[in-house]
Amino acid sequence: MEYKMLESIGYILPAAITGLVAYYMFNGFIKQQSSEKSLELLAQKKKESLPIKLQAYERMLLFCDRITPSKMLVRVKPISENTQEYLQLLIASLEQEFEHNLVQQIYISNDSWTAILATKNTIINKLKQLSETSNSANELRENVILYYSKSLPPTDTAISFIKNDVKNLL
């Protein structure tokens, strides 16, 4: 009886060890396959989303270029000599550009979006500040051009954030 028990253990023990080794090997293989598939799906997702993100960054770069004060003054001419009317026209133009590109914040980094928002608000505040010392729309234009000829426009900061993000994407 003892001999039969030892004989049974002799058959069961190698079978159990072989079964455990096979289980761990197949389990590792399945995990590796799952991991490879996940990486493949992630790579495919990035490949599909990259053009959309790049397009969003392009649009926001164009937005920054369009709201650069010197370029905006060339594009938006005063309709009267009233300083406040011209200021409102400039702000409305800037806000319209911003609202047109508002959805792009989904695709760009928080840092770039914050820089763009700060740029927009800085330009609006500076326009308001310069309008207080201007007596006419043309004088406001001259004051803005004079001010920004002496200092860098805030759009340069936002543009550098955008360029840095695009560099990191690529």
Backbone angles phi, psi at 134, to 5 degrees: -105, 140
Q: Which pLDDT score, from 0 to 100, does residue 73 have?
A: 93
Q: How far apart are CA 151 and CA 157, in angstroms?
A: 12
Position 1 pLDDT exceeds 70: no
Q: Which amino acid appears at position 69 of this protein?
A: P
- Residue spans of alpha helices (H) in 67-151: 69-75, 83-100, 110-132, 137-150
> Does residue 107 carry a pLDDT above 80?
yes
For 23-79, write each residue's pLDDT tens digit.
888 888 888 888 888 888 777 777 778 889 999 999 999 999 999 999 999 999 999
* Helical pair 137-150 and 110-132, crossing angle rounded to 10 deg: 130
The predicted structure's pLDDT at residue 10: 79
Mean pLDDT within 17-22? 87
CB 144 within 8 A of CB 127: yes
56 burial class (0-12, 13-18, 19+ CB within 10 angstroms)? buried
Phi and psi at residue 167, to the nearest 5°: -60, -40
User: pLDDT of 75-106, one tens digit each?
Assistant: 999 999 999 999 999 999 999 999 999 999 99
113-142 confidence digits (pLDDT tens): 999 999 999 999 999 999 999 999 999 999
Residue of higher predicted confidence among 116 and 22: 116
**145-156 tens-digit pLDDT:** 999 999 999 999
Predicted local distance difference test score (pLDDT) of residue 49: 80
